[in-house]
Structure 1
Amino acid sequence: MATDETAVQDPQFAVDPVVLEVGQRFVDAGFELSLVGGPVRDIFLGRTSPDLDFTTSAGPDQTLAVIKGWADAHWDIGREYGTIGLRKGRHQIEITTYRADAYDPESRKPAVAFGKDLVADLERRDFSMNAMALRLPSLELVDPFGGLTDLHAGILRTPGTPELSFSDDPLRMMRAARFASQLGVGVAPEVRAAMTDMAERIEIISAERVRDELVKLIKGAAPRAGIDLLVETGLADRVLPEVPALRLEADEHHRHKDVYQHSLQVLEQAASLETGPEGPVPGPDFVLRFAALMHDVGKPATRRFEPGGGVSFRHHDAVGAKLVKKRMKALRFDNDTIKAVARLVELHMRFYGYGDAGWTDSAVRRYVTDAGPLLERLHRLTRSDVTTRNQRKADRLSFAYDDLEHRIAELASQEELAAIRPDLDGEQIMAILGVRPGPVVGRAYKFLLNERMDNGPVSEDEARERLLEWWAAQPESAVCTDRTDESENA
């Protein structure tokens, strides 16, 4: 196979001096070194890649010898796979020996075989636009599989047949969807067909690797395109089945909206409401976006056709929160992320009671307290959930939410809504009631918190009076009184 090997026109504008420096060191030592993959692709996209990946004819031990005394630090955790990591100034660098991997179709891990040829190494990479290299330090472009042409055309192709590529590493099918999201590219017909035919092979990939690709997809510039590709090829049925389940079959009278397309629109709208780094929800925000995608996953299980011809989804928010927790646990997400996404799904319908009838100050306080640190995300999720084409209805909901946010700000100026606590703490409760730590203290604390929510802050004396009134009605109060009497009589 002939290589498209030409000098890149004035690439220095995008190539950091450290790239040329390390390239010269390897050449001086008698080895080949090339910048490869994403960093090369990003040069032609006019972007600066956060990673610097190199491939070399040197073995791992030889690579260590070349960088010794030059790198600020190095590590060889990937040595078994031919990869040596190092840090030079602000750069994190990985240098990998030419590879000629052979995969066991039933295994999650490659059987590593080192190669001696750059083109053979490029042929084993995922997509042609990632199978380009810059020889160093000459900056000659090596593009044997038409990656630059595909990049300009915005199309994903594989260096070899997609069937062989996806058989070697099924995660590449997820990666295709991720690139559709991140780069806004389409996939070649043969790639889409192979993804559809081989979707079941994703099941041999670890949940952690699938999760990492999904996170990158959701945080991409066009997540809708990536999700659509997963759904259309059947991959979502295996890694995120709750999403394709949203494609509820349309009844003959079209009595409900397309929940799947609605969810994708909510995802897009939520992403558009993210803020810059200094704002309350810096984008891209996975928690907000994933909650937007998953907010209605409880609808298929709760759909009911009503006698009057309507369709209801009662309690789909609570059901959806449970489904989200289950799916995210299966994908090995951390507990904090699971709790945050599930909580947003659980709360996403809460606002509609306000839009219908307005709320008391107590209800506003509860809304803020229940949302806690997720309040700004909940604001954006709730606003994004309006996808109606009825402009009058959309304006009414927008106005109602504007009013709610104004109420929240107004109360926040008077009270510390973000950290509402009862007017008495646990130590004070025990001292006033003369009880020890136990369930009674928890119940008293909850009573005072509800009082705080309903009536706002009060003085310590008033809180004490309310607590004693509550205590007088509790069965434990009589027991404590009897014990006190017995002690005094003795």
Structure 2
Amino acid sequence: MSVSNLTESQRRAVDELFRRLAPVADELGELFVARGHELALVGGSVRDVFLGRIGNDLDLTTDARPEQVLEIVKDWADAVWTIGIDFGTVGVRKGGWLLEITTYRTESYDPASRKPDVEYGDTLDGDLARRDFAVNAMAVRLPSHEFVDPHGGLPDLAAKVLRTPASPEQSFDDDPLRMLRAARFASQLGFSVDAGVVEAMAEMAGRIEIVSAERIRDELDKLLLGARPRAGLSLLVETGLAAHVLPELPKLRLEIDEHHRHKDVYEHTLIVLEQAIGLETGGPDRVLRWAALLHDIGKPKTRRNEPGGRVSFHHHEVVGAQMTKKRLTELRFPKDVVADVSRLVELHLRFHGYGTAGWTDSAVRRYVRDAGHLLERLHKLTRADCTTRNKRKAAALSRTYDQLEERIARLAEEEELAKIRPELDGNEIQEILGLPPGPVIGQAYKHMLEIRMDEGVIGKEAARESLLKWARDNDLLP
């Protein structure tokens, strides 16, 4: 199919791409042709053109081997990198464009290995046939601008459906990670998944075990940061894939929540995730979304049947935080992400004590201090966690949290809550007690921090007297 076979709107999209990309695309294409090689824009870069999303990162494919690609671009590119060269990919920067040029290839998994075996191919059609979905198996040859679509990707794009170029069974056997990609694209693009593809995902779900934790993490992360994560997560659960990559999620379907207001904790979790997304500012928030997804995963382990047919989940936030840390660590997330998400899960119920008993200023200070840099995210997670259908109750919870935020703001103005420190620093404590640095000074510092949290600012002299009394009570002074 050539560009002339496209509809008017599709032709305009291609023309806009090459208006922006020229002369980079044509220059590079001519360089490859001059050396006797082919070059084509391919995959997501072509798909996104028809979706009206033209970025500066482009994927290209060629029959040239990586060492030949390096030779062709060495005097043309502004920068070259070879981090993916073992998989046939050479990275190139030209002006504001970032290009990844990959040799035609096929790849498959040995049953005993977590790494795919990569073999180079010789034709563009062969390369497109091995790609994950038909919407990603379109190409535009360079520099001729010939549009190539052997697997009907353009009609699929119009129908917003995901099909595999080969049979789903063959495609997923070649690379099981494609099953997760189907869920990811359902989230990112809002596409439905062909019934045959869904059936193959369910039958072959266990095959995902061969894929490395890092590759699974990347797909799950992209799914969760997509525009419609519920669609992708639901597909993972329904096909059984979630049981292998995020087993805590499907287990929530078995747990009715303590208020009997929701279908189950799984449904509640998806609603909390959607409501947290609705509170985001400045784009997708990885930490907030993962915390929303995992905030109740401790409930199955802590479920108890209570008198009157009620169900309780006491301390599920503590258990959930431990489970969150374990799961995210196994998925090889960075330590700061693991720590932040786990902390939010641990703190997500803290607010409910404020609504039932009221808090002193000391309790508000502790809430802020314990949340630290996560305070704004904790505000959003706590608000998102209200999924009651009782409008009166929901309004009351919202008003109560408004009051807490107002108190935090007032105290913050007065005391700089986020920077609370004892009124006496370590050097002053040593001088007053006449002791050298050591464990006792550390204990004294913690005591003075408790005084600061409980009583606020009391002044240096009162702080000194409190320290001396503590020291005498603990037999630290004559």
TM range (shorter): over 0.9
1:132 matches 2:138: yes
Pair 1:225-2:231 in alignment: yes
Task: List runs of 5+ in structure 1 lacking aligned partners.
Answer: 277-282, 482-490
Q: What is the CA–CA distance in structure 1 between the aligned matches of 2:383 and 2:51, rounded to whole Å?
A: 34
Q: Which residue of 1 aligns with 2:120?
A: 114
Partner AA of 1:131 in structure 2: A
User: Are residues 1:13 and 2:16 paired?
Assistant: yes
Shift, 1:476, TM fit = 2.9
The secondary structure found in structure 2 opposite 1:368 is: helix
Partners of 1:56 and 1:95 within 8 A in 2: yes
Residue 340 of structure 1 corresponds to which residue in structure 2? 340
- Asked if structure 2 preserves the Cα contact closer than 8 Å seen for 1:104 and 1:168, the reply is no
Residues 1:54 and 2:54 aligned together: no
Q: In the TM superposition, what whole-angstrom CA distance separates every residue of 1:338-358 from its partner, at most 9, and x where no partner exists?
A: 110010000000001111222
User: What pairs with 1:162-311 in structure 2 (closer than 5 Å)?
Assistant: 162-248=168-254, 257-276=263-282, 283-311=283-311
CA deviation profile, 1:433-489 (whole Å, cap 9, x unmatched): 111222211211111111111111122222111111111101333xxx2xxxxxxxx
Verify: 1:437 aligned to 2:434, yes or no. no
1:92 corresponds to which residue?
Answer: 98
Which amino acid counterpart does residue 242 of structure 1 have in structure 2? E
Describe the shift of the 1:168–1:469 C-alpha distance in structure 2 as closer, same or farther (beyond 3 A): same
Does structure 2 retain, via aligned residues, the 8 Å contact 1:105–1:168?
no
Please give the alpha-carbon distance, in whole angstroms, between the structure 2 residues aligned to 1:386 and 1:449.
33
- Give the conservation status (yes or no) of the 8 Å contact 1:105–1:167: no
How much does 1:92 deviate? 1.9
CA distance in structure 1 between the aligned counterparts of 2:293 and 2:119, rounded to whole angstroms: 41
In the aligned structure 2, how far is the partner of 1:50 from the partner of 1:385? 38
Amino acid at match of 1:406: E
Structure 1 residue 102: Cα displacement: 4.6
| One-letter identity of the residue aligned with 1:29 | R
Q: Specify the code of the residue in structure 1 equivalent to 2:459.
A: S
Instruction: Report the secondary structure of 1:52's partner residue.
Output: strand
CA contact (8 A) 2:255 2:299 kept: no
User: Are the aligned partners of 2:80 and 2:90 in contact in 1 as well (CA < 8 Å)?
Assistant: yes
- Structure 2's unaligned 5+ residue stretches are none
Deviation larger for 430-439 or 237-246: 430-439
Counterpart of 1:69, as a letter, is D
Structure 2: how far apart are the matches of 1:266 and 1:254? Answer: 16
Q: State which of 148, 163, 168 in structure 2 corresponds to 1:157.
A: 163
What SS does structure 1 have at the residue aligned with 2:376?
helix
Task: Specify the alignment match of 2:374 in structure 1.
Answer: 374
Provide the rounded CA distance (Å) in 2 between the counterparts of 1:166 and 1:257.
33
Q: Indicate the larger mover: 59-68 or 355-364.
A: 59-68
| More deviation, 59-68/289-298 | 59-68
- Which amino acid counterpart does residue 14 of structure 1 have in structure 2? L
- Aligned-residue CA RMSD in angstroms? 1.6
Q: What is the TM-score of this pair, normalised by structure 1?
A: 0.92
Q: Is the 8 A contact 2:111 2:210 kept in 1?
A: no
CA deviations over 1:48-92 (Å, ceiling 9, x no partner): 235211001222222122212110111233333322111112222
After superposition, the C-alpha distances for 1:146-188 in whole angstroms (9 at most, x for unaligned) are 1111111111110000111111111111111111111111110
Shift of 1:100: 3.1
Partner SS state of residue 217, structure 2:
helix
* 1:308 aligned counterpart, secondary structure: helix
Quick one: structure 1 residues 453 and 184, their matched pair in 2 at CA, closer, same or farther if it must change by over 3 Å?
same
What is residue 75 of structure 2 aligned with on the other side? 69
In the other structure, the counterpart of 1:450 is 450
1:50 to 1:330, Cα distance in 2 relative to 1, 3 A: farther
**Offset at 1:254?**
5.3
1:340-359 equivalences under 5 Å are 340-359=340-359
Q: Any idea what SS the aligned residue of 2:140 has?
A: strand
CA distance in structure 2 between the aligned counterparts of 1:230 and 1:50, rounded to whole angstroms: 31
> How many residue pairs end up in the alignment?
468
CA shift in 2, pair 1:110/1:308, >3 Å = closer
Contact preservation (8 Å) 1:256, 1:311? no
Q: After alignment, is 81-90 or 190-199 more displaced?
A: 81-90
1:293–1:102 CA distance, 2 compared to 1 (3 A): closer
Alignment partner of 2:297: what SS? coil
Read off the aligned partner of 1:319 and give its amino acid letter: V
Paired position in structure 2 for 1:488: none
- Residues 255 and 311, structure 1, Cα contact 8 Å, conserved in 2: no
**Once the 2 structures are TM-superposed, how far is the Cα of residue 312 of structure 1 from its aligned partner?**
0.9
Contact 2:115–2:212 (8 Å) recurs in 1: no
Q: Please list the CA deviations of residues 84-137 of structure 1 after superposition, one character each: whole Å capped at 9, or x if unmatched.
A: 111112222111111133542432223222211101100001111001101112
Q: 1:55 to 1:254 in 2, by over 3 A?
A: same
Q: After superposition, where does 1:370-409 map in structure 2 within 5 Å?
A: 370-409=370-409
Q: Cα 1:299–1:249, aligned 2, differ >3 Å: closer, same or farther?
A: closer
After TM superposition, give the deviation of residue 308 of structure 1 in Å: 2.1
Are the aligned partners of 1:97 and 1:114 in contact in 2 as well (CA < 8 Å)?
yes
- Does residue 1:414 correspond to 2:420, yes or no? no
Query: Which deviates more from structure 2 when the two are superposed, residues 82-91 or residues 125-134?
Result: 82-91
1:22 corresponds in structure 2 to 28
- Give the aligned partner of residue 484 of structure 1: none
- Say if 1:183 and 1:448 are closer, same or farther in 2 by CA, change over 3 A: same
Contact 2:91 2:100 (C-alpha < 8 Å) held by counterparts: yes
**Secondary structure of the residue that 2:41 maps to in structure 1?**
strand
Which residue number corresponds to residue 462 of structure 1? 462
Q: Is the 8 A contact 2:107 2:175 kept in 1?
A: no
